[in-house]
Structure 1
Amino acid sequence: MPTSDTGGALEEIQIFANSPYSVQVFEVLTDGPTTGRALAEQTGASRSTVSRILTKGESRGWVDSEGSQYELTDMGETMTNEFHDFLQTVKGIRHLGEMIRFLPPPARELDPRHLRDADIITPTETNPVKPFDYLAEWIRAANKKRSLARLAVSRFVKLIHDQSVQGQLDTESVIEASWFDTLGAEPKQIPIWQTRAERGDVLVYDGDVPISLHIIDRTVGFWLSEDDQNGVEGLVVTDDPAVVSWARSLYEDYRAEAKPLNPTMLPEA
């Protein structure tokens, strides 16, 4: 983009950024024509501040006026909507903070604005397993769970099994096939996996699973970790519809290529 075009774009962005009231004034106008006095009352801005914002909007062709009534033009509505989306994206990035570098590759496809209200559960000095405790309580209260994972965390294996056997949890998991090669080191878990294999609620994916996520009822949680590492930096939890839709689609993609866990794949207990 030529420098002059960049400069013009930045000037228009500055109209929104000059005052915290600018975005509010234009967003109120997306609801329809109104007066400067009403805009001041709804935004808490002074009449002079509102007048200055409207004048700048008119100079850019974003606002039309007739008498005391002001309304957005098509250009103004588009600019307002696009800036609103940009603002939400920035909020999402700021909310993730340093955790953004631990996003698993598939989650990097998400628009950060859909994570701006997510809960980010991280280990603390007093509770280094806080994300795991959170997930355990979440599972205990759940009705339905679908998981896509690189591996099965031992502390959840019996919990999920017990909840399922008691009829409290409808569960299904797609797990990376190579993880089952390590199961010989956990002989106490083998009977549980044999039972789950017989129930048909475990599928194995013959390849790399680049994310560990849980779709529990209408909420999604996915783990934050270093690339290609199993260490946990935190757990992101959200019920944002776009993230839930993304997670369900991702799960179904891997599920379609997975095969039911065959009891013969398991080592002897």
Structure 2
Amino acid sequence: MPTSDTNEALEEVQIFVNSPYSMRVFEALIDGSTTGRALAEQTGASRSTVTRILNKGESQGWIDSEGSQYELTDRGETMTNEFHDYLQTVKGIRHLGEMIRFLPPPARELDPRHFRDADIITPTETNPVEPFDYLAEWIRAANKKRSLVRLAVSRFVKLIHDQSMHGQLDSESVIEASWFDTLGEEPKQIPIWQTRAERGDVLLYDGEVPISFHIIDTTVGFWLSEDDQNGVEGLVVTDDPVVVSWAKSLYEDYRDEAEPLNPTMLPEA
């Protein structure tokens, strides 16, 4: 049964959702003191609607007024900022939709609001490899790529190699070391890995890599899959600064514990 504290909290939240204009009014007041008339013009609400919102805000101690001027109190500004962040989180969750369950566990520590404008590329009936096609075009147009991955997809091994050899791509990858145990099954790729090992742009992480992503220029893309599975459900791509900074930091953490791929570790072609 809800407690009185919960009921009071819900009543305060209700202030923001009583009208589609409520949040607009409070957000407009973040910019500083203003009049009810100016708020009506800025938000598109009627004067009577703005008046009701302002009166309710004053009754809660969120708004102070002097004459025709209204401004947020410290409490009102905090409530407005926090509810704004909550709305962005909801938008992020709605935008990710069912794909949120495929987000790799490390990325789930990020607030979903940072994914609210992300591109979500999933397989389609007409193109079941759409995420792979997207990444291929992304790599072809890139200048710099840093990857933290569980495994190397054969399609991209040659593409990355060719782009790097022609001086079109600055590439480095940290790969789960155990994946190289299967390299004997792809003998045609061994010369490429030998070249990359000599170039020093591949590092092996001796342990589990719980996430696969690519930082390409100023954007990051996460592969979506079932937990502990290598099947691909899609790719989430975002240039949100918080996500990009987080991914760069995580990449460096794994890179610091990884060792360069030694050519002598590779099977003979």
TM-score by length of 2: 0.99
Match of residue 40 from structure 1: 40
Match of residue 86 from structure 2: 86
- The structural deviation recorded for 1:2 is 7.3
Q: What's the secondary structure of 1:32's corresponding residue?
A: coil
Q: What's the secondary structure of 2:180's corresponding residue?
A: helix
Separation in structure 1 between the aligned mates of residue 2 and residue 141 of structure 2, nearest angstrom: 56
- The structural deviation recorded for 1:7 is 0.4
Deviations 1:51-106 (A, max 9, x none): 00001000000001111110000000000000000110011011111001001110
Give the 5 Å matches for 1:52-131.
52-131=52-131
Separation in structure 2 between the aligned mates of residue 184 and residue 198 of structure 1, nearest angstrom: 19
Separation in structure 2 between the aligned mates of residue 20 and residue 189 of structure 1, nearest angstrom: 58
Separation in structure 2 between the aligned mates of residue 123 and residue 50 of structure 1, nearest angstrom: 46
Matched, 1:253 2:231: no
Deviations 1:126-157 (A, max 9, x none): 01000000000000000000000000001000
Overall identity of the aligned pairs, in %: 89
Query: Considering only aligned residues, what root-mean-square deviation do their CA atoms show, in Å?
Result: 0.9
Match of residue 207 from structure 2: 207
List alignment gaps of at least 5 residues for structure 1.
Answer: none
Separation in structure 2 between the aligned mates of residue 19 and residue 161 of structure 1, nearest angstrom: 56
- The structural deviation recorded for 1:261 is 0.2
Separation in structure 2 between the aligned mates of residue 199 and residue 20 of structure 1, nearest angstrom: 58
Match of residue 177 from structure 1: 177
Match of residue 161 from structure 1: 161
Give the 5 Å matches for 1:5-44.
5-44=5-44
Deviations 1:175-220 (A, max 9, x none): 0000000011111100000000000000000000000000000000
Which amino acid is the alignment partner of residue 67 of structure 1? G
Deviations 1:219-247 (A, max 9, x none): 00010000010000000000000000000
Q: What's the secondary structure of 1:204's corresponding residue?
A: strand
Which amino acid is the alignment partner of residue 101 of structure 1? R
Separation in structure 2 between the aligned mates of residue 18 and residue 98 of structure 1, nearest angstrom: 29
Separation in structure 2 between the aligned mates of residue 134 and residue 163 of structure 1, nearest angstrom: 16
Which amino acid is the alignment partner of residue 238 of structure 2? T
Separation in structure 1 between the aligned mates of residue 208 and residue 58 of structure 2, nearest angstrom: 55
Match of residue 231 from structure 1: 231
- The structural deviation recorded for 1:114 is 0.6
Separation in structure 2 between the aligned mates of residue 145 and residue 239 of structure 1, nearest angstrom: 14
Separation in structure 1 between the aligned mates of residue 103 and residue 242 of structure 2, nearest angstrom: 17
Separation in structure 1 between the aligned mates of residue 25 and residue 207 of structure 2, nearest angstrom: 52
- The structural deviation recorded for 1:36 is 0.5
Separation in structure 1 between the aligned mates of residue 75 and residue 175 of structure 2, nearest angstrom: 49
Separation in structure 2 between the aligned mates of residue 229 and residue 98 of structure 1, nearest angstrom: 17
Match of residue 197 from structure 1: 197
Separation in structure 1 between the aligned mates of residue 209 and residue 268 of structure 2, nearest angstrom: 26
The number of residue pairs the alignment matches comes to 269
TM-score by length of 1: 0.99
Please identify runs of 4+ aligned residues in structure 1 that moved more than 4 A.
Answer: none
Separation in structure 2 between the aligned mates of residue 97 and residue 63 of structure 1, nearest angstrom: 36
Separation in structure 1 between the aligned mates of residue 66 and residue 131 of structure 2, nearest angstrom: 57
Separation in structure 2 between the aligned mates of residue 29 and residue 134 of structure 1, nearest angstrom: 42
Deviations 1:12-67 (A, max 9, x none): 00000111100000000000000101101010011111000001000000001111
Separation in structure 1 between the aligned mates of residue 19 and residue 164 of structure 2, nearest angstrom: 54
Which amino acid is the alignment partner of residue 268 of structure 2? E
Separation in structure 2 between the aligned mates of residue 19 and residue 120 of structure 1, nearest angstrom: 31
Q: What's the secondary structure of 1:97's corresponding residue?
A: helix
Q: What's the secondary structure of 1:52's corresponding residue?
A: helix
Which amino acid is the alignment partner of residue 17 of structure 1? V
